[in-house]
Chains A and B, each alone.
Chain A
Amino acid sequence: MNTHTKYKHEALASGLVSAASTRWRFVLGLVTNRFCFVVLFIVTALLIAQYDPDSTAVAPPDRQEVVFWHFWGGRDRVVVEDVVRRFNDSQQEHFVRAIAMPGNNLDLKFFLSVAGGDPPDLLNQDDPVLADWAHRGLLMPLDEVADKATAEQIESWLFPPARRLGTYDGRLYGLCNGLDIRALYYDQTLLEEHELEPPETWEALNRINRVVSPPEQETIKQFGFLPDPRRLWAWGIVFGGQFYDETTGTVTADEVPVVGAMDWMRSFSKTYGADRVAAFRSGDQSLTGSASPLLQGRYAVVMDGQWRVREIVAAQDKARSSGNPVRQYGVAPLPSPPGGRENAGWVNGNFFVVPKGSRNPAGALAFMKFWSGFDGHEAEAAVTCAAGGWIPVSPHVVKQPSFERYLRGNPLFAKFVELAGSPNQVPWPVTPGATYFQREITRTCEDAMYRDDAPPSEVMLREAATRIRARLKERVAP
């Protein structure tokens, strides 16, 4: 839209210029321009007339279509398309057409499609927008897509974090189809070289920096561990706090344990200098750096999600096959300070939602069950999860023989799956305004960690909490 202005304005300028002087050549200009136009027209006409698009798979006439939007791209998309194909092959009634909308704006596109009157039939999402959408009546709760009894069965079938992710106002709106859990990855080889213990205890974690990246060092090429400001969401929970009390609907982001967590994270900036920390972090996020900073040797310990396990295994295989020394890596749950919670952290996940205007909720339900494993599809789901490296959403899927075999072959991954059953894995608050909540907390922590002159944590969090409370109040208002 606004790219118009760029060209508009030079066109306008030429208008002014022509106004200023009245000379113009016309015969030569006419001839060349006409020729160009004619050529362009012919080419265009040919193109349009000739090209017959072969669209992606169209639903066979005897089946009902389910338009499914998701955000997976690249290699993940292949897995998704495989699941879709297996579903379509497994029954005759429905046909899922998967449309990929990669990038960060799937929720935006979804909202626009609802506002525009043409929503998809099923959507996969991982942003904290569930409550906002449910609150506005954009989604069908699962007890309407299926029925109350089925919805209750699903609720008890899911892992606690998976259930929490999809529940708003006591009803299940989203069916989780994969959990994302984070833990600490550590470079075991490196730690052993420095005679350090793995970061399974609080003391061990904090000692690592002193040895691997002593602050007095002039140039630090490798850090022991640096917390990511976005993960205050995890560390606040670990320290024993919570950001939002669901039962009372109050924002508790400024309570003491959370302040303690932020202070601990800031202590890293204070030790090394906010500047240095920020600069080192910037170096992590390069366009080509899809490989974990841990693998690149920038850190000894990194907090990351279960999807990195594949990369580690791939890197180890590569080293093995090219005859290089193989580095050993380990995974440890987030250690907690005294008074904190064990096996705690921030959990996120992908969840299916069915839009209000869905034309084929039955088909959507069938596909959701197939993917997540509910209602007899546990074995299939185990295959899907193993293929995609996803954490199943139900203990019933984990118990499947094929998945247990996968876990035995992937001990690092198994550690993540263990955490899925912990009640201390907490998602972002499921409340309208959650996006704002999430952005504000992250922003506050970023400011705290990257700016030397930021106010005390208590003050920053209190102000953030006040702002958040005001926003939430507006949002939840009828």
Chain B
Amino acid sequence: MRRNRPNVLQYTALVMMAVLFAAPLVWMVLTSLKPETQITAAPHRVLPDEWRWDNYGEVFDSTPYVRYFRNSVLLCAGSVLGTLLSCSLVAYAFARLRWPGRDFLFGVMIATMLLPWQVTMIPRFLLLRELGLYNSLGALILPTFLGDAVFIFLLRQFYRSIPEQLAEAARLDGCGEWGVWRRIMLPLSAPALATVALFQFIAAWNDFGGPLLYLSDPEKFPLAYALEQYVSSYSSQIHLLLAASVMFTVPIVVLFFFTQKTFLRGIALGGVKG
């Protein structure tokens, strides 16, 4: 960590590992462009014999991809909104407000992170059914408005690092707690909020168990679930499966590239030595 001249061994090791990690993705994209006959043929050739962009067209034709995409976007947008709203409110209460039982309940919240989801899955289902939310995206979005322990924890840490003087000054000016939260805390915690939004977006995009339990109308399926159904339908046509998978992955990868800084900085939220 102290040497500045590039070490050939180090470089080789890094390149080897990078190849190992990147190869499956590259392979996925390449195979998705191969004609069906080439996939099982031997000897194995890396590059497609012919670049069948048609495969993607076939996926589009055989399944209402755009509908599923729209459902995913709706689901993600709703989840992100719900999460940001609820977690920032609750985190502020834990971080800066004084009220009886605060520390005890904070401990309880930490403990709930240990709870396996299987313990609560059946009662949750029944509860959401009573609310009439079976077979609707609402069943997946509503719970996000009730906060999430991990994100609350993260935001609380961040709030605690914001100097109290700013809030004091606002209070002196006549702001209520609501005003403090809205005018001081929210803007200043933008990096943390961005992180939470990003992680929640990806989690909602990925969510499979939720639609598995709660959705039975194909009009409402998000991409993650629709892709699984697609795989079951066309299980022997690898080129189509991989093309569909690539189409499912690309939006997230694009998002990742645009928000890399947020992503990685968010993870090292305290700031990395530099």
Direct contact between the two chains A and B in their complex (CB within 8 A): yes
Please name all residues of chain A whose beta carbon is closer than 8 Å to the beta carbon of B151 when the two chains form the complex: 8, 11
Contact B203–A3 (Cβ < 8 Å): yes
> Residue B99 at the A interface, CB < 8 A?
no
- The segment out of A45-53, A210-218, A324-332, A444-452 that lies at the interface is A45-53
Contact B269–A17 (Cβ < 8 Å): yes
B122 → chain A closest CB, angstroms: 9
How far is A10 from B210 in the complex, measured between Cα atoms in Å?
A: 21
Contact B70–A51 (Cβ < 8 Å): yes
B160 → chain A closest CB, angstroms: 8
B257 → chain A closest CB, angstroms: 11
> Residue B249 at the A interface, CB < 8 A?
no
Main secondary structure of the interface of A (DSSP, over half): helix
How far is A192 from B87 in the complex, measured between Cα atoms in Å?
A: 74
Please name all residues of chain A whose beta carbon is closer than 8 Å to the beta carbon of B196 when the two chains form the complex: 11
Contact A15–B153 (Cβ < 8 Å): yes
The contact of A32 among B193, B200, B262, by CB within 8 Å, is B262
- Type the 1/0 row for B179-222, where 1 means its CB is closer than 8 Å to any CB of A: 00000000110110111110110110011111011101111000
Contact B234–A12 (Cβ < 8 Å): no
A335 → chain B closest CB, angstroms: 31
Contact A18–B157 (Cβ < 8 Å): yes
The contact of B229 among A18, A19, A103, A116, by CB within 8 Å, is A103
B88 → chain A closest CB, angstroms: 14
Please name all residues of chain B whose beta carbon is closer than 8 Å to the beta carbon of A277 when the two chains form the complex: none
A344 → chain B closest CB, angstroms: 31
How far is A47 from B151 in the complex, measured between Cα atoms in Å?
A: 27
> Residue B40 at the A interface, CB < 8 A?
yes
Minimal Cβ-Cβ distance residue in A for B134: A116
> Residue B154 at the A interface, CB < 8 A?
yes
> Residue B6 at the A interface, CB < 8 A?
no
Q: Count A interface residues, CB 8 Å.
A: 62
Please name all residues of chain B whose beta carbon is closer than 8 Å to the beta carbon of A37 when the two chains form the complex: 194, 197
Contact A36–B194 (Cβ < 8 Å): yes
Contact B197–A12 (Cβ < 8 Å): no
User: For residues 246 through 269 of chain B, which have their beta carbon under 8 Å from a beta carbon of chain A?
Assistant: 258-259, 261-262, 265-269
How far is A118 from B125 in the complex, measured between Cα atoms in Å?
A: 13
Known A29-B265, A103-B229, A288-B236; judge A47-B70 contact (CB<8 A): yes
How far is A12 from B156 in the complex, measured between Cα atoms in Å?
A: 11
Known A8-B199, A287-B236; judge A3-B161 contact (CB<8 A): no
> Residue B238 at the A interface, CB < 8 A?
yes
- Type the 1/0 row for A16-31, where 1 means its CB is closer than 8 Å to any CB of B: 1111111111100110
The contact of A36 among B121, B262, B267, B271, by CB within 8 Å, is B262
The contact of A15 among B190, B207, B269, by CB within 8 Å, is B269
Contact A118–B134 (Cβ < 8 Å): yes
Please name all residues of chain A whose beta carbon is closer than 8 Å to the beta carbon of B134 when the two chains form the complex: 112-113, 116-118
> Residue B168 at the A interface, CB < 8 A?
no
Please name all residues of chain B whose beta carbon is closer than 8 Å to the beta carbon of A56 when the two chains form the complex: 64, 218-219
Contact A116–B135 (Cβ < 8 Å): yes
Contact A24–B270 (Cβ < 8 Å): yes
Please name all residues of chain B whose beta carbon is closer than 8 Å to the beta carbon of A105 when the two chains form the complex: 212
> Residue B90 at the A interface, CB < 8 A?
no
Please name all residues of chain A whose beta carbon is closer than 8 Å to the beta carbon of B77 when the two chains form the complex: 44, 48
How far is A287 from B235 in the complex, measured between Cα atoms in Å?
A: 7
> Residue B233 at the A interface, CB < 8 A?
yes
How far is A288 from B235 in the complex, measured between Cα atoms in Å?
A: 8
How far is A3 from B243 in the complex, measured between Cα atoms in Å?
A: 23
Q: What are 25 sample pairs from A and B whose C-beta atoms fall under 8 A apart? A: A1-B117, A1-B207, A2-B209, A8-B150, A8-B199, A9-B150, A11-B151, A11-B154, A11-B196, A14-B154, A15-B153, A17-B267, A17-B268, A18-B270, A22-B161, A26-B191, A47-B73, A102-B232, A112-B134, A112-B214, A113-B134, A115-B126, A117-B129, A117-B134, A287-B238
* Residue positions of B touching A, CB distance < 8 A: 39-40, 64, 66-67, 70, 73-74, 77, 113, 117, 121, 125-126, 129, 134-135, 148-151, 153-154, 156-158, 160-161, 187-188, 190-191, 193-197, 199-200, 202-203, 206-210, 212-214, 216-219, 228-229, 232-238, 258-259, 261-262, 265-271
* Residue positions of A touching B, CB distance < 8 A: 1-4, 6-26, 29-30, 32-34, 36-37, 39, 44, 47-48, 51, 53, 55-56, 73-74, 77, 99-105, 109, 112-113, 115-118, 120, 287-290
